[in-house]
A and B are shown apart, each in its own frame.
Chain A
C-alpha cells in the first residue's frame, strides 16, 4: 500500500484500483476544531480538481478538492456524527472516501511523504 499526498493537503492510499482519501494531520491542525464534514454520496463521479466536500471548523469552511478522477464507492459515515475525529485521527480512522480510481497515471502527479514534508516545511 502506497500513500501519496496532494498540494491541497489530502492523502490517498492505494490498494489496486481503490484509493482511500483523507486530509493530512497538517491540514487538520491548520483548520482547528472541525465541527462538520459535508461529503458526496456513493456513486458520485468527479474529475481531478473538482470540489468533493467541505470541512467546517469552528471558524471557517474549507473545500476538499479531488486529487484525481474517480467515483465514490464508500463514504466514512461516522464523520457525520463525529466530525471531530478528523482532528484526532485524520490519517487513520477518519478517512473520508474510498474512491474507484479512473486514471492510475494521475498518482504520478502527487507527492510522496518526503515531498509533502518539504511542502509543509
Chain B
C-alpha cells in the first residue's frame, strides 16, 4: 500500500503560482515554477528566492540537560551552544556513519531541531529513545519557509525589523504581521537568508507578503538542489549516508574540538581513528572539463584508468555556468588540482578535483 503524497500548508499557493508539483520524500512539492530552475537559481544568487521547506521535520525538545543528552547521539558541542544560536550537526551510528544531518537551535527553554523530510520517521524515535528524560515532540502545525539570497534581509526585514539585526546561525522568535514566528538566519543555498517557522493558518498570508517584495520570487526543489551543490553542501542520501563518516565527508568542522578529543558519541572510536590517521577516501568537488554533466553514480577513474571513486551529486551549476559535481575519491587523489576521468555513458571525460564550494558562500557573520 502506498500513502498518498502529503501536502504542505503552502500547497494551494504553489499551484496558484504555477509550480510543477512532484512527489518528493512522500510530499507533493514544487520542483520549479514558470521562471525555470536556471532563473530561480540565479534569482536566489542575485536577489532572493523563497522555498517551501515545510516537508522537513520540526521538532521541539523539552527537559533538563538537553545539550548533554544530545551529545550522546551527535558529535557536535551543545553544552556550549548559547541561547539563540543554531548549529549544523548529524546523528552518527555505532560504525561512525551518518544517520542524518540536522540543525539544532538552543531556544532557551527548549531546543528546536529541523531534520530532513525523508528521515523524520527515523530521527524522531531515535531521539525519543536516546534522550533520557527529554520530551520529543514533532510539530505538524507550522510551515517552514526559506528566504535565501543577498536581498533576503530586505525581504524579511521589511516585515520583521528584528531580522536585520540577526547574524548567521542566530535564531529568534519575532512578530511577523501579528503572528509569532521563529526566524533563523541560515539556509542551505550558500547565500545569506532565513528559515522561518510560521503557524500553518498564516503561512500563505505571510509567504505572499514576502513574495510581494520586488526582489523575491518563488523557487522549487530543482533550484534548491543546484544551489546547495554549487555551495558544496551535502545532501543526505546522496553525499552522506550511513556508509560515510564525517571525516570522509569533510564535515569535521561540525565536530567542535572538545568532542573530537573526548568522543562519547556513537562511532567515536572509528571517527577518532580517522581524525588521527586520515580516511581512505574523501568527499571532494569535481569539475568536469567539458560540458557533459556527471550525475550521481558516475565512476571516477585515475588517469591510469584505475577506479578511485564515484560521483554522489552532480549536475549543471547555473552560476558556475558549467557542470559541477561532488563525489568520493581515494585520499591519494583528493588533492585539488588532481586530474581524474569520469566515465559518462561509457566514455571517459576529463575532470579536475577542486576545493569546495564552487561559489563563494555569502553568509552574514
User: Are B292's CB and A38's CB within 8 A?
Assistant: yes
Tell whether B130 is near chain A: CB-to-CB under 8 Å.
Answer: no
Q: Which residues of A contact B37 (CB under 8 A)?
A: 32-33, 58-59
Cα-based distance from A80 to B322 in the complex (angstroms): 12
Tell whether B358 is near chain A: CB-to-CB under 8 Å.
Answer: no
Cα-based distance from A35 to B317 in the complex (angstroms): 10
Tell whether B36 is near chain A: CB-to-CB under 8 Å.
Answer: yes
User: Are A58's CB and B345's CB within 8 A?
Assistant: no
Tell whether B295 is near chain A: CB-to-CB under 8 Å.
Answer: yes
Q: Mark A35-75, 1 if CB is under 8 A from B, else 0.
A: 11010000000000000001010111100000000000000
Cα-based distance from A33 to B223 in the complex (angstroms): 12
Which single residue of chain B is at the shortest CB-CB distance from A83? Answer: B291
Cα-based distance from A47 to B316 in the complex (angstroms): 31
How many chain-B residues does the 8 Å CB contact rule pick out? 18
User: Are A35's CB and B316's CB within 8 A?
Assistant: yes
A12 to chain B, nearest CB (A): 24
Q: Mark A1-44, 1 if CB is under 8 A from B, else 0.
A: 00000000000000000000000000000001101101000000
- Asked, given contacts A33-B37, A33-B38, whether A56 binds B32 with beta carbons under 8 Å apart, the answer is no
Q: Which residues of A contact B89 (CB under 8 A)?
A: none
User: Are A58's CB and B316's CB within 8 A?
Assistant: yes
User: Are B291's CB and A80's CB within 8 A?
Assistant: yes
- How big is the A interface, by class? 10 to 19
Cα-based distance from A24 to B345 in the complex (angstroms): 24
User: Are B345's CB and A38's CB within 8 A?
Assistant: yes
B25-66 CB contacts (< 8 Å) to partner A: 31-32, 36-38, 41
Which single residue of chain A is at the shortest CB-CB distance from B318? Answer: A58
* Contact for A36 among B32, B36, B293, CB less than 8 A: B293
B44 to chain A, nearest CB (A): 14
Tell whether B226 is near chain A: CB-to-CB under 8 Å.
Answer: yes
- Asked, given contacts A58-B226, A59-B222, whether A33 binds B36 with beta carbons under 8 Å apart, the answer is yes
Cα-based distance from A21 to B157 in the complex (angstroms): 52
Cα-based distance from A32 to B39 in the complex (angstroms): 11
- Asked, given contacts A35-B316, A83-B291, whether A54 binds B222 with beta carbons under 8 Å apart, the answer is no
Q: Which residues of A contact B357 (CB under 8 A)?
A: none
Q: Which residues of B contact A33 (CB under 8 A)?
A: 36-38
B115 to chain A, nearest CB (A): 25
User: Are A32's CB and B36's CB within 8 A?
Assistant: yes
Q: Which residues of B contact A61 (CB under 8 A)?
A: 293, 295
Cα-based distance from A11 to B81 in the complex (angstroms): 61
Q: Mark B308-323, 1 if CB is under 8 A from A, else 0.
A: 0000000110100001
B3 to chain A, nearest CB (A): 25
User: Are B316's CB and A56's CB within 8 A?
Assistant: yes
Chain A to chain B contacts (Cβ below 8 Å), 26 pairs = A32-B32, A32-B36, A32-B37, A33-B36, A33-B38, A35-B316, A35-B323, A36-B291, A36-B293, A36-B316, A36-B323, A38-B292, A54-B345, A56-B292, A56-B316, A58-B41, A58-B222, A58-B318, A59-B31, A59-B222, A59-B225, A59-B315, A60-B295, A61-B293, A61-B295, A83-B291
- Apart from A35-B323, A58-B316, A59-B222, what 9 extra A-B contacts exist at CB < 8 Å? A32-B222, A33-B37, A36-B293, A36-B316, A38-B292, A56-B316, A58-B38, A58-B222, A61-B295
